[in-house]
Amino acid sequence: MHKVKIGVLVSGGGTNLQSVLDACEKGEVSAEVVLVVSNRREAYALERAKKMGIRNEYVDPSKFPGEEYDKELMRIFREEGVKLVVLAGYLRVLSPGFIEEFRNRIINIHPSLIPDFCGKGYYGERVHKAVLKSGVKKTGATVHIVDEGTDTGPILLQESVPVLKDDTVETLQRRVLAVEHKILVKAVGECCLRLVNENNGGNDEACTD
């Protein structure tokens, strides 16, 4: 079966990236990660890709002002023939040009049940701190299509996680992260199957119903 080429954008350690890499290696999804790019030189995610022989690139934001940065990303992604873009803890806002280039073929994992605790300023531990402060009884994770807004694109998958009475940011984050890994792999698999079924025809509805 044809494997969909995936490009992953990351800013940190890359545990979500690793879940996708593992799924690809085990044949759980019809895909292969061909490129991992980070805006941070020290991102351990790059090392994860290097260990598996996958092209890994640090693209220095200081060398590409404004939308020139995403134009450089688009150039690299085109070189590798990327069909599906996965944001796995990427802490930059994508430009309209990049989003248009991969319309409905960019997915993001967010550590809450969108539309709660999402949007500008909600990322990483900030999300879990806000959840605990609010007193809500459940949170979770969401995989969604990326559009021009912040966490506003169509939702693909969600799974909830209970907030326990004695939870700390760290304990809650660990449980949510386990769910992130699971639903991200599932969403990647579903998107790739749709792309394969469409014979890579460039259908703009690749990851949507």
128-181 per-position pLDDT tens digit: 999 999 999 999 999 999 999 999 999 999 999 999 999 999 999 999 999 999
pLDDT at 209 over 80: no
Domain carrying residue 82: 4-197
11-51 per-position pLDDT tens digit: 999 999 999 999 999 999 999 999 999 999 999 999 999 99
pLDDT of residue 48: 97
**How far, in Å, CA of 177 to CA of 188, rounded?**
16
Question: What is the pTM (predicted TM-score) of this model?
Answer: 0.93
Tokens coding 98: 């990049």
Better pLDDT: 66 or 54: 54
**How far, in Å, CA of 43 to CA of 28, rounded?**
26
Strands 106-110 and 138-145: antiparallel
**How far, in Å, CA of 125 to CA of 14, rounded?**
15
State the sign of the Cα–Cα–Cα–Cα dihedral 185, 191, 192, 197.
positive
Instruction: Kindly state whether residue 9 falls inside one of the protein's structural domains.
Output: yes
Quickly state the pLDDT bin for 201 (edges 50, 70, 90).
Answer: low
Instruction: Kindly state whether residue 204 falls inside one of the protein's structural domains.
Output: no
Closest CA to 192 of 101, 81, 84: 84
pLDDT of residue 183: 98
Instruction: Kindly state whether residue 109 falls inside one of the protein's structural domains.
Output: yes
pLDDT of residue 205: 65
- Pair 139, 131: CB distance under 8 Å: yes
Q: Look-up: residue for tokens 């997915």?
A: 107
Instruction: Kindly state whether residue 206 falls inside one of the protein's structural domains.
Output: no
**What secondary structure letter does DSSP report for 146?**
-
Instruction: Kindly state whether residue 208 falls inside one of the protein's structural domains.
Output: no
Better pLDDT: 104 or 2: 104
What is the CA angle 163-164-165, rounded to 5?
125
The catalytic position among 2, 110, 128, 181 is 110
**How far, in Å, CA of 6 to CA of 26, rounded?**
16
Quickly state the pLDDT bin for 192 (edges 50, 70, 90).
Answer: very high
Instruction: Kindly state whether residue 203 falls inside one of the protein's structural domains.
Output: no
Tokens coding 120: 């500008």
Question: Average model confidence (pLDDT) for the chain?
Answer: 94
User: What is the longest distance spanned by two Cα atoms in the chain?
Assistant: 50
Domain count, the chain: 1
Instruction: Kindly state whether residue 163 falls inside one of the protein's structural domains.
Output: yes
- CATH number reported for the structural domain that contains residue 189 in this entry: 3.40.50.170
pLDDT of residue 2: 82
Q: Look-up: residue for tokens 């806002």?
A: 93
**How far, in Å, CA of 125 to CA of 167, rounded?**
13
**How far, in Å, CA of 19 to CA of 203, rounded?**
27
How far is C-alpha 205 from the chain's CA centre? 18
Instruction: Kindly state whether residue 115 falls inside one of the protein's structural domains.
Output: yes
Quickly state the pLDDT bin for 196 (edges 50, 70, 90).
Answer: confident
pLDDT at 1 over 90: no
181 is catalytic: no
